[in-house]
Amino acid sequence: MRDSSTVSSASTPRGGFSIVRDHGPKTSGPARPIAYAAFTFILGLAFIRPFVDLIGYAVQTDLYSHILLIPFISAYLIFIQRAQLPKDYRTSLGWALILSFCGLLTLISVWISLKIDPPVSQNDYLSLTTFSFICLLLSGGFLFLGGKWMAAAAFPLGFLVFMVPLPDRALHFLETASQVASTEAAAIFFSITGTPMLRDGFVFQLPGIAIQVAQECSGIRSSWVLFITTLAASYLFLKSPCKRAILIAFVIPLAIVRNGFRIWVIGILCVEIGPHMIDSAIHHQGGPIFFVLSLIPLFLLLWWLRRGERTAAPGILQVNTVGRDRNGASALPPDPMIPR
């Protein structure tokens, strides 16, 4: 008979292939979580300089102001599902080594990029260092807590990736794509409402004013925040992977329509009231208003998808009484996992 300490604790799907293989004896109690907390603290001290730069960058840049909230959201998501997390811990050495290698390789690339001329931008520097920190943080999780625990907390830990600023090239690509799509959406709104216009690329020639849809008007910030919000909402309120995918995919057309609608509103105001509306608050500070408006169809879709799903709160076990014996005690079917 084989010793149970040498058998992998990970679940094996159909086909017989283990997803995550843990090694070493099982341990329970607070020793390993405390060790992982100490590891996280030491790792945070090692990255204190990049963290200070990241906080300052997030405060100064509207696009990344959400970064300051991401660690707290991840911690909250772990907290509400703490009862479902495994209490036995093992070491997943393979994943720990892979993630450690990725983190250290990224750190080396940061060091090299700072030596070249010209060096990388501050945005890319923070992207690389933050990604390296997350890789090393996750590697510590596999080392101290094991693959079974990490798999159970996959979403909250994966959510930390939104701490990483988008690299410059990725940001430029998304801004350009959003600019093109928003311009097309605005053109459709102008056509539907019968507004006289001539269009030349990103420029709309309207009665009395010409409006250009610049990259700064792409709405990438609100779209990015909307995507992150939807991802968290799908995890909290939906159980079906298919329904989660539908809700998340809905964000893309919703963001395009919202930004096209905003461009159309500003254009109509300039035509009907006067060209001075291009410098009004609805243009420069109206983003939050249109963001809130976009939440209405999103929440309606979420409500529709949620209908029919069980509403059990995370971490709460629901037991249905199927009958009672002659003494009034509940009679439940035997659990095959409990030895008799």
Among 128, 74, 126, 67, smallest CA distance to 103 is for 128
Task: Name which residue leads in pLDDT, 259 or 115.
Answer: 259
Cβ–Cβ under 8 Å, residues 36 and 96: no
Instruction: Give residue 29's pLDDT band: very low, low, confident or very high (50, 70, 90).
Output: low
Worst-scoring range by mean pLDDT, 172-176, 183-187, 286-290?
286-290
What integer pLDDT is reported at residue 137 of this predicted model? 96
pLDDT bucket at 129, cuts 50 / 70 / 90:
very high
| 142 and 96 Cβ atoms separated by less than 8 Å | yes
Poorest-pLDDT segment among 113-122, 179-188, 238-247: 113-122
Question: Residue 45 to residues 11, 65, 143, 253: CA-CA distances in angstroms?
Answer: 35, 22, 19, 42
Contact predicate 160/23, CB 8 Å: no
pLDDT above 70 covers a percentage of the chain that reads 82
Q: With 0-12 CB in 10 A as exposed, 13-18 as middle and 19+ as buried, what is 23?
A: middle
Residue 91 has pLDDT above 50, yes or no: yes
Q: 45-88, pLDDT tens digit by residue? A: 999 999 999 999 999 988 898 999 999 999 999 999 988 899 88
d(CA 266, CA 64): 26
Instruction: Indicate the pTM of the whole model.
Output: 0.76
- Higher-confidence residue of 62 and 337: namely 62
What confidence score (pLDDT) does residue 88 get? 87
Residue 14 has what pLDDT? 40
Residue 164 in this model has a pLDDT that exceeds 70: yes
